[in-house]
Amino acid sequence: MTTEQHEIMPVPEIGRGVRATWRYTVVTIAVWGVFVNAVATFVLLGGAGYGMQPLDLVILVLVTASTASLVRYCWFFKSGLGGGLPARPYTLGLLLPAGALWFVGLAQPHALWVGAVPLWLACNALAVVVGRRARWWILGVGLVVLVAHGLLGLLLGQGIGGPSWEDGSVGALAVWALMSPGLYVASIWWWDIVLRLDDSRRTSGELAVTKERLRFAADLHDIQGHHLQVIALKTELAGRLLDVDPAAARIQIAEAQQLARTALEDTRALVHGYRTVSLAAEAANAAEVLRAAGIECSVDVDAEELPSEARTLFGLVIREATTNILRHSEATTVTLRLTRSGVGSVLTVLNDGACGGVDARPGGSGIDGLRRRFEAVGGGIEVRREGGLFRLTARTSGRPAAGGAVPAAVPVPDVQESGLRTEAAEDSADPAAHTVDSRRSRR
């Protein structure tokens, strides 16, 4: 697989915590490679004469090039174990400087075996991006080349001794180098596990939305299917009776009209009940959807003593806030809290994703529309950023607004306005439906 293929292949969206895991993983691997190469460099230069020799300068240049190529190569590990080879120049840049050091190291009599360490690390990095069978071949060949360097050095007259052997530097370097394959492969194996868990979380949210849509579709079919079938039969019968018995035909037409009205009322009742659940249920649904999206949610909502109008309004606020958190923010924690304030109540929705969290466009159908509903009952809505936190506060006063009266029933919002769990609203569907789309756009 080439670098160009890496760039055009769609990459599944991952959450902020998963991205942090990747950064920690790749930095750990890169720092380990830099550290081991740095120790190998000190050993290679440790036995030289006074001042920098031409060979020392060559070693420094080759080690620098090899280490830089190794660090760059680590970023190709993001595709996981066996993700595919990048473009050929990257692989050649990884192997050629390290291979040159393998030969240069033979010219340093005090650095038996050490000159092969950069090539060994390069083989470790290469083993990560290839398939399982090729991985074992590469590690096996790399180990043979590593051992062969020491044997060839002995044949050329190099000896075991010197300051680096006496102070244990070479021994420590040997342990670190032999640990590298386990570090590289195990770290990327763990990264694969994290990716699969994140994908399972997204799939779980998608399945929950699909299940809810199927349930709604089944309920709608049960209502519409029966009524439409009977209406079709009655209108067909009325058509046949129209010439022979007009009075009977009129009766059938009247019954068909009544059935149509009944079907319309039942459909409205279904949608109304689907959209206007209790405040406690709204809070529970919001917490479930947020947790399915990988967001910690704390709920403290007790709505037993609230009037029905306040429960409906607060339920709409929870729907809108939850949807917007999933669509526009990168929150990791959300708090829902309902408290009493004098004769009224206050609902607070707090999240730590201050890059978004509400739809506050003037004249929009989100928070601005809800603000007008709260003002109609003497309350209000306030949104505020506090550092890295985003706070939405909705309050009811318990008395009518000046010059107005509390409506007998708060009208149910338009499907496209509330829509936390309304399948018919494409733009404002269940928040879990936005989990995949919104968080893929923020990877």
Task: Kindly report, residue by residue over 414-441, the tens digit of the pLDDT.
Answer: 333 333 333 333 333 343 333 334 333 3
Q: Who wins on pLDDT, 170 or 70?
A: 70
**Is pLDDT above 60 for 12?**
no
What's the CA gap between 399 and 397, in Å, rounded? 5
**In whole angstroms, how far apart are CA 108 and each of 46, 64, 102, 104, 138?**
10, 18, 11, 7, 26
State the pLDDT at residue 47: 54
State the pLDDT at residue 335: 92
State the pLDDT at residue 322: 84
Q: Who wins on pLDDT, 95 or 208?
A: 95
State the pLDDT at residue 190: 86
CB under 8 Å to 92, separation ≥6 — which residues? Answer: none
State the pLDDT at residue 15: 61
What's the CA gap between 393 and 47, in Å, rounded? 70
What's the CA gap between 243 and 245, in Å, rounded? 6
Q: What's 77's DSSP letter?
A: G
State the pLDDT at residue 437: 41
**Is pLDDT above 80 for 26?**
yes
Highest averaged pLDDT of the listed ranges 19-28, 77-86, 118-127: 118-127
**Is pLDDT above 60 for 122?**
yes
What is the chain's mean pLDDT, rounded? 75
Cα 270 from chain centre = 34
CA trace torsion 186, 188, 189, 190 (10° rounding): 90
Q: Please name every residue paired with 299 in a beta bridge, in sequence order, or none if there are none.
A: 336
CB under 8 Å to 52, separation ≥6 — which residues? Answer: none
For residue 300, report the phi and psi dihedrals to the nearest 5 degrees: -135, 80
Q: Who wins on pLDDT, 413 or 17?
A: 17
Q: Please name every residue paired with 393 in a beta bridge, in sequence order, or none if there are none.
A: 348, 382
State the pLDDT at residue 328: 76
State the pLDDT at residue 207: 84
Q: Who wins on pLDDT, 386 or 419?
A: 386
Lowest mean pLDDT among 66-75, 279-288, 340-349, 362-371: 362-371
Tokens of 414: 């338009």
**Residues 292-331: tens digit of each pLDDT:** 677 889 998 887 778 878 888 888 888 888 878 877 778 8
**Is pLDDT above 60 for 257?**
yes
State mean pLDDT over 370-376: 85
**Residues 230-254: tens digit of each pLDDT:** 788 888 888 888 888 888 888 888 8
Q: What percent of the chain has pLDDT over 90?
A: 5
pTM: predicted TM-score of the whole model, two decimal places: 0.49
Query: How many other CB atoms are there within 10 angstroms of residue 365's CB atom?
Result: 18
CB 279 within 8 A of CB 305: no
* Selection from 120, 118, 182 nearest residue 146 by Cα: 120
Burial of 369 (0-12, 13-18, 19+ CB in 10 A): middle
**In whole angstroms, how far apart are CA 355 and each of 146, 291, 329, 331, 389?**
51, 20, 5, 9, 9
Q: Who wins on pLDDT, 206 or 435?
A: 206
**Is pLDDT above 50 for 378?**
yes
State the pLDDT at residue 78: 84
pLDDT band at 41 (very low <50, low <70, confident <90, very high): confident
**Per-position DSSP letters for 302-324, written without gaps between them:** --TTS-HHHHHHHHHHHHHHHHH
State mean pLDDT over 397-416: 43
Q: Who wins on pLDDT, 6 or 210?
A: 210
State the pLDDT at residue 217: 82
pLDDT band at 349 (very low <50, low <70, confident <90, very high): very high
What's the CA gap between 383 and 369, in Å, rounded? 14
**Is pLDDT above 50 for 36?**
yes
State mean pLDDT over 355-380: 66
Where residue 87 falls (left for φ over 0; alpha for ψ -120 to 50; beta otherwise) is beta
